[in-house]
Structure 1
Amino acid sequence: MTTTYLDLINRGAKAYPNRTAIVYRDQSFTFREVDELSSRLANAMSASGIKQGNCIALLLNNGPYSVPVDFACVKNGINRVPLNSRLSVREHTKMLQETGAQMLIFGSDLADHAAALKAEMPELKCLGLDSKLEGGVDLAEAARTQSTEAPEITVQDSDVVATLFTSGTTGTLKAAQHTQASYAAICKNVLMNVISPEHDDAMLHAASLIHASGVFVLPFWLRGARTVIMDSFDPTLYLELIAKEKITAINLVPTMLQMLLGHPQVESTDASSLKHIIYGASPMPRPVIEKAMEIWGQERFWQYYGQTECPLGMTVLRPEDHHDDLLGSCGRPCVDVELRLVDEAGNVVPEGQPGEILVRTPITMKGYYNAPELNAETFTEDGWLRTRDVAVFDERGFLHMKDRTSDMIITGGYNVYPREVEDVLMGHPAVAECSVVGTKDEKWVEAVTAAIAVKPGSQVTEAELLEFISDQLASYKKPRKFFFIDTIPKTAVGKLNRKALRDMLATAS
């Protein structure tokens, strides 16, 4: 038995009962208040029929319930499935069906979306937070009369605590499962390699807490430090909070950093409290990181490379290495991570030669849900995880990313997989062929770009295509650029040739 996620939650609650744990808008909550609320919620879940081992979907935007609900699920031994609120009802329905989740906990601002899901899945039991559907339950109201003592459960290292959807590098929807042990290991990974918070530290969260940003909550909880939560990213308020709350750590995707750098108050904001400016999720354009270091100082910047299957840090680029050609690297492997590069036959490649990244570490997922064949492809017999990313080690031991074995697009820190967008566009009666690629973009790093070949005798406009896909794809997946061309480039065997298309579009734009 190793340290579990539940152990770490209990340790933080016991060690710092009277310190401020969570700040949201004009509200603040002590460690004791968060701990007691999470226990009440856990007991209310039990009273609503949720049992240890159940798979429960969460539809929550950032807010005061984000952390207590997560902790409540852990205290109940629940396998939670966080749903990105930016996705469509169709996408969420598929996720619920694939995981077999029969219950949904939703925030009051997402009640209409929950009702739409209920209409698609009448058997779905929906529990609101300060809200309820007709004939449903307000979990927050029910929790007020529950005990502040957590349910008595016994957990195992291998118990699944979270099922995180990712399209991975294949473009196929997959559900990565993390356990009591792997979540605890992720917390340790952060503490050992990226940031070791002190009592008076505070981290500002504007990115969704169901993504990488949420990984930092538990390390701060363990050290008695504050978690400051925003509903969403607003550059003006973000800068104001850095000064007001004396924020010591922030986590940014490139698009967020670019928006801050373009803000008129960025240089006048008092950011003297900042110690860690952490970034990852997608490659950082060199001009952006250079300008950011010019304003805030090289000594504050930390980059990580990870995946949903292996969060947060496989490698880290430390502040002292943010210079010259190393700005294009992912850093060195973390101390608790084994990493090697192999060729197609599985042989370790020589230094300076490209190879697929394989990783072995306690932070790795248990596996994909209900996907034995995919798991067999993803894990080697001796326990290494295949990332499907291609990189090179230089003579100093720094990892330089070269390519992905997929055509995944990273736009504003979000992963978009061309096939999914193409399948929707091909449903339009005027579209004969289409291909989707990422093209360079100053704001989004990569813009989702669609090349469309129209059927003979048909006509369609960009506006009509956007209207057609409006309720089928999340906003960040929708193409930001359209090109109408006669034919889509293909390989000799008739497959879409995305490289040739990217080259063609680069010339045309």
Structure 2
Amino acid sequence: MSVTYLDLINRGARYYPDRIALQFGSEKLSFEETHELSNQLAHTLIQRGIKRHQRVALLLNNSLYSVPVDFACVKAGINRVPLNARLSLTEHRKMLEETGCEVLLYGADLSERALELSKLLPALCCHGIGNTAGGGDDLLADSSKQSTANPDVRSAPDDVILTLFTSGTTGTLKAAQHTQASYAAICRNVLLNLVAVEQNDAMLHAASLIHASGVFVLPFWLRGARTVIMPGFDPDAFLTLLEQERITTINMVPTMLQMLLASSRFAEVDVSQLRQVIYGASPMPRPVIEEAMALWGRQKFWQYYGQTECPLALTVLRPEDHEADLLGACGRPGIDVEIRLVDEHGDEVPQGEPGEIVVRAPAMMAGYHNAPALNDEIFMDGGWLRTRDIARFDERGFLHMKDRTSDMIITGGYNVYPREVEDVLTAHPDVAECAVIGLADPQWVEAVTAVVALKPGHTVAADTLVEFVARRLASYKKPRAVLFTETIPKTAVGKINRKALRDRYNDTA
């Protein structure tokens, strides 16, 4: 019998009733209080007629109630569909339509968006969490009248309890489905490969809990440790809490670390309790990680590579491997993960050659929602999952990422991986960040093009940057054009949005 997400929620609640589980500003909930509140919310959802397996959309920013609402959905057997609050009204509407959600739970600060959605979708039933301005009942207020006992709802390992839209930039909406068993396996993956959580640990969450940051909640819950939640990322407030709450673990994307480094307090803050700085989601510029390690110590830094389709740590770069050429690697495969590199025919590539990463692990999704053709394409014989990422293994077993198959540039018959060029450009002292894309070209089919954001107060000529790359890479890899911009667009989880840039500049070409 497989261990389920629900099993792990109930274990944590039973083992550590009196310890503080959640903290948001000055508000705190113990394990028992969180458990009972989530039970009451689950009963409230059931009372509203929401059935087991029904998809329910969640429009919630980080708050004290993020975790209790999540747990309540699991306890009620509901398939939750989180919506990133930063997305547009059009995107939210499309997500609701694609997943057939007829119920939306919204946070008090997002009641206006809930109202807009209910006007666009008359069949949508909205309920607030601490508010009724967006329509429907306040489930938080109503929950106080409900039983604190566990709901009598049957669960099975293959029940889908999460339908999560990926941060992909292909323009096609994809929603990965995770089950009771796969989400429990994600927890195991984190504990096996990334964090040896101890009872007095505390993790600080500033990124949205609906993506990678939220994956760490269950491992900390299971060990009786604290989850400290911020409403959003503010560098100064983050550094204050880091010291004040004696935080032991943080997880961030490279952009967040860059913003912290820009603060004069980064070198002064007391990080004596901080054991782990975990980062992932997108490539870390080498100058950024080197500066951070110099100030906080190499022993704190852990990198992971993973996907929404198979969270969290497919590979891990441990602190002792943060040196020399390995700073460009994404680590070795996780203990519970199998990885192969294959060509376009699905055949394994020779050692040292680049190929598409295919994976097999207990934490894999059950498949994309309502996408049979895409599922046939992405799942291979033997239970392997295609990632669309290109990488190579070195002789020591470290995986070195090249790029997404969709981002690879074919110019004059040669393959160019944008990340390789970006790694060179970000080492230039005037460059803050950049993205390399292929733009339509009558001669080369695609022209290697660098979109560059400079550091404040810095200037540099485009020709200088082209020559900087040409001295370090093959001539066909150098940019044929450099376009300057104020900022590089990112996806909702902080990845470079190359598709948005291709669309922008191809439209203006």
Give the structure-1-normalised TM-score.
0.83
Distance 2:65 2:447 in 1: 43
Give the corresponding residue for 2:217.
Answer: 217
Unpaired segments of 5 or more residues in structure 1? 410-436, 452-487
CA contact (8 A) 2:114 2:134 kept: no
Secondary structure of 1:63's partner? Answer: coil
Q: Which amino acid aligns with 2:448?
A: K
The 1:387/1:48 distance shift into structure 2, 3 A limit, reads same
Mean alpha-carbon deviation: is it higher for 120-129 or for 132-141?
132-141
Q: Does 1:499 align with 2:448?
A: yes
Counterpart of 1:153? 153
Aligned to 2:322: 322
Q: 2-side partners of 1:143 and 1:174: how far apart? A: 33
1:80-479 map, 5 Å: 80-133=80-133, 136-166=136-166, 168=168, 170-407=170-407, 445-446=433-434
How many angstroms does 1:194 deviate by?
0.2
Gap change, CA 1:445 and 1:252, over 3 Å in 2 = farther
Structure 2 counterpart of 1:420: none
Q: Which amino acid aligns with 2:41?
A: L
CA distance 1:138–1:346, change in 2 (3 Å) = same
Partner of 2:42: 42
Letter in 2 for 1:506: V
User: Displacement of 1:406 after TM fit?
Assistant: 1.1
User: CA separation in 1, counterparts of 2:404 and 2:135?
Assistant: 48
Note the C-alpha offset of 1:440: 6.6
Q: List gaps (5 residues or longer) in structure 2.
A: 410-421, 452-478, 486-509
Which string of whole-angstrom CA distances, capped at 9 and with x for unpartnered residues, describes residues 210-266 of structure 1? 010000000000000000000000111111101110000000111110111110111
Structure 2 residue matching 1:326: 3-state secondary structure? helix
Number of the residue aligned with 2:502: none
The structure-2 alpha-carbon separation of the partners of 1:11 and 1:445, relative to structure 1 and needing over 3 Å to count, comes to farther
Q: Secondary structure at the match of 1:113?
A: helix
Instruction: Name the SS of the counterpart of 2:71 in structure 1.
Output: helix
Q: Tell me the residue number matched to 1:490.
A: 441
> SS at 2:28's partner residue?
strand
Question: How far 1:169 moved relative to its partner?
Answer: 6.2
Going from structure 1 to structure 2, the CA distance change for 1:295 and 1:490 (only over 3 Å counts) comes to same
Over the residues paired in the alignment, what is the CA RMSD in angstroms? Answer: 2.3
Match of 1:61 in 2: 61
1:88 Cα deviation (Å)? 0.7
Shift of 1:448: 9.7
Asked if 2 retains the 8 angstrom alpha-carbon contact of 1:258 and 1:443, the reply is: no
Letter in 2 for 1:499: V
Whole-angstrom CA distance in 2 between matches of 1:51 and 1:448 = 47
Q: Counterparts of 1:508 and 1:206 in 2: how far apart (Å)?
A: 30
Is 2:127–2:134's contact at 8 Å kept on the other side of the alignment? no
Distance 2:320 2:350 in 1: 27
* Distance in 2 of aligned mates of 1:448 and 1:173: 23
Contact 1:169 1:408 in 2 (8 A): no
What is the letter of the counterpart of residue 67 of structure 1?
V
Alignment partners' CA distance in 1, 2:483 and 2:266: 35
- Where 1:11 maps in the other structure, the secondary structure is helix
1:46–1:345 distance in 2 versus 1, CA, 3 Å: same
Aligned-partner SS, 1:499: strand
Q: Which amino acid aligns with 2:480?
A: M
Task: Give the CA deviation at 1:51.
Answer: 1.3
Give the superposition deviation at 1:343. 1.0
Identity fraction in percent = 60
**Paired residue type of 1:119:** K
Which amino acid in 1 is paired with 2:441? K
**Alpha-carbon separation, structure 2, partners of 1:80 and 1:186:** 17
Q: Which amino acid aligns with 1:490?
A: D
Structure 2 Cα separation of the partners of residues 251 and 188 of structure 1: 17
Show CA shifts across 1:327-349 (max 9, x none): 00000000000001011121111
User: 1:373 is aligned with what amino acid?
Assistant: A
Aligned position for 2:70: 70
Change (3 A) 1:445 1:316: farther
Equivalent position SS for 2:17: coil
**Partner letter of residue 489 of structure 1?**
A
8 Å Cα contact 2:75/2:151 also seen in 1: yes
Q: In the superposition, relative to structure 1, how do residues 397 and 237 fare at CA in structure 2: closer, same or farther (>3 Å)? A: same
Is the partner of 2:228 in helix, strand or coil? strand
- Report if aligned partners of 2:128, 2:139 keep a CA contact under 8 Å in 1: yes
Structure 1 counterpart of 2:462:
none
The 1:216–1:246 alpha-carbon spacing in structure 2 relative to 1, beyond 3 Å, is: same
- Residue type at the aligned position of 2:229: I
Cα distance in 2 for partners of 1:245, 1:342 equals 46
Q: CA shift at 1:136, angstroms?
A: 1.4
Aligned equivalents of 1:498 and 1:384: distance in 2? 34
Separation (CA, whole Å) in 1 of partners of 2:23 and 2:433: 31
- Could you tell me which amino acid in structure 1 is paired with residue 57 of structure 2? A
Q: Distance in 1 between matches of 2:201 and 2:64?
A: 19
